Structure 1
Amino acid sequence: MSQRMYVCFKCENKVRTLYEWEGEELFCGMCQQENIEKYEATIVYRFFLLLQLVKDCVNKSCDQVFFPERGWIRRLVKFTIYWIRETITHVKRIRAQCAKRRRQRKARREERRQHRKAEARSRAASKWARKEQRKAYKRICKENREWDKVHKAAR
């Protein structure tokens, strides 16, 4: 009934289960948890580093954010950065305003589309009207020619 025991590469404890972390060596549960905590701490650090890089936007909404790996990135979420004594107090994410602007842009786009459709219909209608006018003019000319023929023959 014995299970095989493995040795963790990091702490050298004997354990029954080893976990893989980002394609690296296999770790025990405790070391795996440490890896996860370090990873989360790195993410938090990067986030505050990112805010440090945009600190010239204090109390302003900025719709683009600087990521060290990728440069300036535009996002739908806006950040407003608040500073007290050179430290970040909090970051306000303004989602509602962005959603409102997206809805407004969508409405304007739909309005322009409807306007273009209406213009196309009016152009088609005016084209049809001109066509009908030409038909009527040709018919009148034809009738006039026939009338001239009849009356010239009668003279």
Structure 2
Amino acid sequence: MGMPTEPLLVIMRRSMANLAFVETHAGPAGPYEVTQLINTFLGALAHPFEAMRDDLMALPLADAAVLGWPTINKERPSDREPASLGDLIRLMRNGMAHGNLDYLSDGKGQIHALRVWNTHPRTGARTWGTVVPIADVRRFLGLFVDLIERRHSDFGWYERGVA
């Protein structure tokens, strides 16, 4: 394994390569593609998100939907609405990073969706939550990686010291 010259991009790309490998070789006794999807979501999204936070916070959810991002609805009426695509990414990332997730079955022994939520750090009260089909989690991650790759090649955000 060579020394990465662009650590954020390298970890993102390697995480996605690992996910593709696990998805190809998944079986009942492992490797487990949904587990790898969650690990990849954290590895490929957390650090690059921080580098692009301001740009993503400025992108309205309606514009993201037009660009093909899956619609991720809040689960409960009391859950707050994300303010932007960046806010939604932050909520998803925080929920997964803090272990606030449940696996939801398709009734046939397979994981069909994830319930992801956030709580207030001091009170523990739920602030946001969603139920997302696994296919939409995968598409969400793929679109995020594509966006980072495009921004990197188009604008050289990493070389400018944004990362």
- Name the TM-score, length of structure 2 as normaliser: 0.22
Return the structure number with greater relative CO, CA threshold 8 A, min gap 6. 2
- Name the TM-score, length of structure 1 as normaliser: 0.22
When Rg is computed on C-alpha atoms for both structures, the one with the higher figure is 1
Larger helix share, 1 or 2:
1
Larger strand share, 1 or 2:
1
